[in-house]
């Protein structure tokens, strides 16, 4: 496991780097650079980034859905290709759930495409480590998208408490 990785909340100077990791992932939906700037400004407390030698190598973005206090939604998570499969995704997820702004959430929600085996493994593994259930439902079906896009299946992981999140690595 990498020891020299620093984790912190993003700020607006990270928006372009997050956009680049998403672009280079070849898997994640690439949104406008402006949207990542907004996330880094107005939703930074429910996001997390990882950097090594001053270079951004991973991120997770999310928010607390209004009116559903029990939920923390993870929108996108991405790891630089050179760093995948070394535990960083799970560390970022652990930090994401332990962010102060995630306090009180007892359920993690995210959406994943059926073809994304790595992401499914990450979230199913997290549910296992949290000692809780992982329910999968259709989420956003393909017909809701304007053009050729896989269904985004909704993963609902929980319930869990703060003590359980401590079982995910730091």
Ligand X SMILES: CC(C)(COP(=O)(O)OP(=O)(O)OC[C@H]1O[C@@H](n2cnc3c(N)ncnc32)[C@H](O)[C@@H]1OP(=O)(O)O)[C@@H](O)C(=O)NCCC(=O)NCCS
Residue 23 as a binder of ligand X (CB under 6 A): the answer is: no
Query: What gap in Å lies between CA 62 and CA 102, rounded to an integer?
Result: 10
* Residue bearing tokens 């400004």: 41
Which of 2, 86, 135, 141 is close enough to bind ligand X by CB under 6 A?
Answer: 86
State which residue, 53 or 67, has the beta carbon closest to ligand X: 53
Edge to edge, the sheet with strand 152-158 lists 6-8, 48-52, 55-63, 71-79, 107-112, 152-158, 133-140
Least distance from C-beta 168 to ligand X, angstroms?
A: 9
Q: By CB under 6 A, what part of segment 117-156 binds ligand X?
A: 117-119, 121-122, 125
Residue 167 as a binder of ligand X (CB under 6 A): the answer is: no
Residue 84 as a binder of ligand X (CB under 6 A): the answer is: yes
Which residues are at the interface with ligand X (CB under 6 A)? 25, 27-28, 77-79, 84-90, 112, 116-119, 121-122, 125
């Amino acid at each position: 496991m990498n020891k020299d990785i620093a984790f912190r909340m993003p700020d607006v100077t990270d928006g372009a780097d997050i956009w680049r990791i998403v672009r280079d992932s070849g898997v994640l939906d690439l949104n406008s650079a402006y949207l990542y700037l907004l996330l880094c400004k107005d939703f930074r407390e429910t996001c997390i980034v990882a950097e090594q030698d001053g270079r951004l190598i991973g991120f997770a973005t999310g928010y607390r859905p209004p009116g559903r206090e029990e939920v923390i939604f993870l929108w996108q998570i991405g790891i630089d290709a050179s760093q995948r499969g070394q535990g960083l995704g799970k560390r970022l997820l652990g930090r994401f759930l332990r962010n102060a702004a995630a306090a009180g959430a007892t359920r993690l929600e995210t959406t994943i495409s059926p073809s994304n085996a790595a992401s499914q493994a990450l979230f199913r593994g997290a549910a296992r480590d949290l000692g809780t259930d992982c329910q999968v439902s259709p989420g956003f079906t393909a017909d809701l998208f304007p053009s050729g896009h896989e269904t985004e299946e909704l993963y609902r992981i929980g319930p869990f408490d703060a003590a359980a999140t401590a079982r995910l690595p730091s």
